[in-house]
């Protein structure tokens, strides 16, 4: 029974192993986590207070339809996957697709005020030293998302090539928010790709383009650096909204890590606007929820204030050289209202850190924490899928 109650932090990380077609894998996610997904749809304030009412308007429906058609043209297999989630969980597809549209609908309709309850934070630290190569990521989300996430390890085999990049096989692990497609938070695949996403709230959004959630879902299928850039560039369409992608491939002979800021094209070109930063051996990098290099207006005051605060906190530390350093930094509770590790003991805090992942690129493991990593041991340490 879906009660719509917010529970205190659970010390649990559910993991689903599933194999099949895109639809079957989606259906398994939906069926397995159906009660969690139903509960999340009841609790989600952005969905119920903003997206659904706008979807009921003719202009809102038009934006929804043109964006859905655009995604179907590029990535019909991921629309089928999401239909599988909806069918498996016995919920309406349009509610799930609205979650993937995120702020595109209110922004395209110039709906004021823009949703103040946006997730205001996730922080990524990359350490790229010869004897210590790490990608650490905190996943912060609206309090209603606490306990509403799960890991999916999926092996998808299609009988014929799928979508604009003709993908036949995918094998990946991803942390998913309830009812959402894999690929948006912290992720890895069997080609040795490891990546995390930082949401960025751009002022300029485009309907009829590819929502970031579908770009990052397509990223899960990539097998090398050029592939990854091609997916993010999205030639012929381009990003509808903004994010930052932190990634590396374990087999890359250069052992290069990357941060890519992805934004809608300011010139209305049919491709994403990208800013690529290389993080070579001997370097480190921090990225939070703001543009560091792209000069575009940003919409969410809280997210920007929080980002500035978290970057200042990281700036007080010596450059991280070990997993212990990264755990301390990602568990930091200084910085007042906008600390790196968000908890503050209250159930009514708008945003909480729901999970932390630390990928050890040398040991090829991923450590998962559902509580503060500077004070607790990981729940589990899982091997990466890369062979």
CA atoms within 13 A on the CB side of 182: 34
The mean pLDDT value for 55-74 works out to 97
Q: How confident is the model at residue 348 (pLDDT cuts 50, 70, 90)?
A: very low
Quote the pTM value.
0.94
Q: Residue 349's Cα: distance from chain center in Å?
A: 21
For residue 180, is it within any domain? Answer: yes
Distance, in Å, from the CA atom of 285 to the CA atom of 135, rounded to the nearest integer, reads 10
The total of structural domains in the chain comes to 2
Same domain flag for 288 and 163 = yes
CATH (domain of 161): 3.60.60.10
At 186-211, the pLDDT tens digits run 999 999 999 999 999 999 999 999 99
Q: Residue 279: give the domain boundaries.
A: 121-383
pLDDT band at residue 137, thresholds of 50, 70 and 90? very high
**Residue 29 included in any domain:** yes
145 pLDDT above the threshold of 60:
no
pLDDT at 78: 98
Instruction: For residue 377, tell me if it sits in a domain.
Output: yes
Instruction: Give the C-alpha distances (Å, rounded to integers) separating 196 from 125, 138, 291, 299, 370.
Output: 10, 9, 16, 22, 17
Query: Which of these three, 76, 109, 142, is where a domain ends?
Result: 109
pLDDT band at 13 (very low <50, low <70, confident <90, very high): confident
Last residue of a domain, one of 81, 109, 137: 109
What is the pLDDT, as a whole number, of residue 370?
Answer: 83
Residue 327 lies in a domain: yes
What is the mean pLDDT of the segment spanning 82-94? 98
Average pLDDT over residues 255-268: 96
Secondary structure letter of residue 261 according to DSSP: E
Reported as a single tens digit per residue, the pLDDT across 212-227 is 999 999 999 999 999 9
User: pLDDT confidence of 346, banded at 50, 70, 90?
Assistant: very low
Query: 131 and 100, same structural domain?
Result: no
Query: What confidence category does residue 5 fall into, taking pLDDT thresholds of 50, 70 and 90?
Result: low
2 domain-assigned:
no
């Amino acid at each position: 029974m879906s009660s719509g109650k917010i529970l205190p932090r659970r010390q649990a990380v559910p993991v689903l192993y599933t194999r099949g077609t895109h639809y079957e894998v989606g259906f398994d996610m939906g069926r397995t986590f159906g009660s969690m997904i139903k509960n999340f749809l009841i609790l989600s304030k952005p969905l119920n207070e903003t997206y659904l009412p706008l979807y009921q308007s003719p202009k809102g429906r038009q934006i929804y339809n043109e964006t859905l058609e655009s995604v179907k043209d590029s990535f019909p297999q991921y629309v089928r996957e999401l239909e599988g989630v909806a069918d498996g969980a016995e919920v309406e597809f349009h509610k799930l697709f609205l979650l993937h549209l995120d702020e595109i609908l209110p922004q395209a309709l110039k709906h004021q005020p823009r949703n103040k309850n946006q997730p205001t934070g996730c922080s990524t630290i990359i350490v790229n030293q010869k004897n210590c190569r790490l990608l650490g990521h905190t996943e912060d989300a609206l309090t209603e998302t606490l306990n509403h996430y799960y890991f999916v390890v999926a092996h998808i085999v299609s009988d014929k090539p799928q979508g604009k990049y003709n993908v036949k096989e995918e094998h990946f692990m991803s942390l998913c928010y309830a009812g959402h497609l894999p690929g948006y938070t912290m992720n890895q695949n069997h080609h040795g790709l490891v990546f995390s996403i930082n949401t960025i709230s751009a002022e300029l959004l485009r309907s009829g383009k590819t929502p970031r959630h579908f770009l990052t879902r397509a990223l899960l299928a990539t097998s090398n650096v050029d592939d990854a850039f091609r997916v993010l560039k999205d030639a012929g369409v381009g990003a509808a909204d903004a994010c930052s992608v932190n990634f590396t491939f374990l087999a890359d002979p250069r052992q290069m890590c990357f941060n890519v800021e992805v934004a809608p094209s300011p010139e209305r070109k049919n491709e994403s606007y990208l800013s690529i930063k290389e993080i070579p051996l001997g370097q480190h990098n921090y990225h939070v929820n703001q543009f560091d290099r792209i000069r575009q207006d940003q919409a969410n005051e809280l997210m920007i204030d929080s980002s500035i605060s978290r970057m200042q906190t990281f700036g007080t530390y010596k450059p991280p050289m070990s997993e212990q350093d990264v755990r301390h930094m990602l568990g930091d509770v200084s910085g007042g209202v906008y600390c790196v590790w968000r908890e503050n003991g209250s159930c009514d805090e708008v945003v909480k850190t729901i999970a932390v992942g630390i990928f050890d690129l040398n040991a090829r493991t991923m450590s998962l924490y559902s509580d503060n990593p500077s004070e607790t041991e990981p729940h589990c340490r899982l091997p990466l899928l890369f062979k």
